[in-house]
A and B are shown apart, each in its own frame.
Chain A
Amino acid sequence: AQSVAQPEDQVNVAEGNPLTVKCTYSVSGNPYLFWYVQYPNRGLQFLLKYITGDNLVKGSYGFEAEFNKSQTSFHLKKPSALVSDSALYFCAVRDGTGGFKTIFGAGTRLFVKA
């Protein structure tokens, strides 16, 4: 069965500092991995995905994530955080063997302080 773990409920970072939001996953086949961001009372916005190829994936708003197969991780990163990055971030995984079901992590709230 697929599963996603986001070990941190909240991440606090000062504006201008680098940020990392952690994610580990478990899936039977090759993973399709995603990061989404959610603002209050809104749906999810797609940030980036890893399907295959380069382990470092670049996405929207300056975010990037690194796929690490040996550690089964897909941490979200940004070199310089903005206050406007404060939101709820979800890591998600889908089994790449053909299923369409996407499983989400519990979410990590990012708080960027000015």
Chain B
Amino acid sequence: GAVVSQHPSWVICKSGTSVKIECRSLDFQATTMFWYRQFPKQSLMLMATSNEGSKATYEQGVEKDKFLINHASLTLSTLTVTSAHPEDSSFYICSARDPRGDNYGYTFGSGTRLTVV
């Protein structure tokens, strides 16, 4: 089945630094990937839709200059949190659409817990 690998699983960084999170589709080519943010005990909030070879589509209220998304290949999308602040601390999850066969459901990465100190 479709597998999505997300790295790192957790990261601690200092305020003002940037952090990159990778999302890879291991056994399929993902033309579309999604980035979500999850606050403690809350649901997943869609941040942006990442399309291979084009600019990401950001949801309303998400700062595109702060959350940089790059989808340079069919198997890799990256989310970079720039100039991180403690309020950016959260659980970030990516998902990918597998275009093979039944593509109604998406496969999720295992998530990245970001803590900004």
Q: What mask results when residues 35 to 59 of chain A are scored 1 for a CB within 8 Å of chain B, else 0?
A: 0100001111110010100000000
User: Is A102's CB under 8 angstroms from B34's CB?
Assistant: yes
Q: Which of A34, A46, A107 contacts B43 (CB 8 A)?
A: A107
Tier of interface size on chain A: 20 to 34
Is B67 interfacial (CB 8 A cutoff)? no
B-side contacts of A34, CB under 8 Å? 105
User: Is B46's CB under 8 angstroms from A106's CB?
Assistant: no
User: Is A41's CB under 8 angstroms from B43's CB?
Assistant: no
Is B24 interfacial (CB 8 A cutoff)? no
Tier of interface size on chain B: 20 to 34
User: Is A101's CB under 8 angstroms from B109's CB?
Assistant: no
Is B106 interfacial (CB 8 A cutoff)? yes
**Number of residue pairs across A and B with beta carbons under 8 Å?**
51
Is B6 interfacial (CB 8 A cutoff)? yes
Q: Which of B46, B105, B111 contacts A43 (CB 8 A)?
A: B111
User: Is B32's CB under 8 angstroms from A106's CB?
Assistant: no
A-side contacts of B107, CB under 8 Å? 46
A-side contacts of B54, CB under 8 Å? none
User: Is A41's CB under 8 angstroms from B97's CB?
Assistant: no
Q: What mask results when residues 26 to 44 of chain B are scored 1 for a CB within 8 Å of chain A, else 0?
A: 0000001010100001111
B-side contacts of A43, CB under 8 Å? 4, 6, 93, 108-111
Say how far A59's CB is from chain B's closest CB, in angstroms. 11
Is B85 interfacial (CB 8 A cutoff)? no
Given contacts A32-B104, A49-B104, A49-B105, whether A100 and B97 have CB atoms under 8 Å apart is yes
Q: Chain B residues in contact with chain A, CB under 8 A? A: 4, 6, 10, 32, 34, 36, 41-44, 46, 49, 91, 93, 95, 97, 104-111, 113
By Cβ-Cβ distance, the 7 closest A-B pairs, closest first, are: A43-B108, A43-B110, A44-B108, A106-B43, A104-B44, A43-B111, A104-B43
